[in-house]
Amino acid sequence: MKRKSLFVLVLAVFVVWNAFADSEDELNFSFGLGGFFTNDFGGGVSASLVGIEINSLKTPYLGGGGFLFFDMIFMEVDISFFVIKSEWEYYALGSGTAKDKVSCFGSDAGVYGKFPFKIGSHFTVFPLLGFYMRTIYVAEIGGKKESGANDLSALWFKLGGGVDYSISNKIYLRLEALYGLRLSNVFEDDMADYYHELGADVEKLFGHGLDIKLALGYKF
């Protein structure tokens, strides 16, 4: 399911970009480097019986890192590396709430469609729509390294916009803000299956978050 969605989105973005690339506009390709902030406001699983919550796990996080982007006017491709920190909250009926500190290292690989509008001599604004695959390579929960870190990886869908400020003919500053929704990860799917087998009603908690990026770009 996730692989099919990834393929369809890649195909759609390339079709849109090729359509715009046939326009009479001059295509000034560029690349850049920068840093970003990321988070997930939700995430996790809740299980209940006869309407009473018996177990839950909430997995929001904050993090940041660096990224490289390649801009083809109507399409942006980027790859990033990041560290995220979290405090997972567990709840069990009769035992109350407990917390564990969590840290992860991972990367994103993203593709976005964009349509730039020039405003004055220095500014260009653009909406963004796309996705990225967030892959987790290393995860520590409660100070212990987890062997199944990749089970926390997830596909994100992002919508937002950005602005470029031209410092010179070749160099510009880019700011982007993207809000996104994600699919459940393998870890959450496995937890949901476990509680289903016990006869509980299961809710996968909504994963959604914000990325803010700042980078320096160079036009070819």
Environment class of 155 (CB within 10 Å of its CB; exposed 0-12, middle 13-18, buried 19+): buried
Tokens 């390339």, residue?
14
Q: How many other C-beta atoms lie within 10 A of the C-beta of residue 56? A: 20
Per-residue pLDDT of the chain (220 residues), as tens digits, is: 445 444 544 555 455 455 444 444 455 799 999 999 999 999 999 999 999 999 999 999 999 999 999 999 999 999 999 999 999 999 999 899 999 999 999 999 999 999 999 999 899 999 999 999 999 999 999 999 999 999 999 999 999 999 999 999 999 999 999 999 999 999 999 999 999 999 999 999 999 999 999 999 999 8
The pLDDT of residue 16 is 47
- Domain ranges for the chain, please list them: 2-219
Quick check: 69 and 32 in contact, CB under 8 A? yes
Calpha distance 156→163 (Å, rounded): 22
Q: What is the 3-state secondary structure (H, E, C) of the chain?
A: CHHHHHHHHHHHHHHHHHHHHCCCCCCCCEEEEEEEEEEECCCEEEEEECCEEEEEEECCEEEEEEEEEEECCCEEEEEEEEEEEEEEEEEECCCEEEEEEEEEEEEEEEEEEECCEEECCCEEEEEEEEEEEEEEEEEEECCEECCCHHHHCEEEEEEEEEEEEECCCCEEEEEEEEEEEECCCHHHHHHHHHHHHCCCEEEECCCEEEEEEEEEEEEC
Name the nearest CA neighbour of 42 among 60, 61, 63, 57: 60
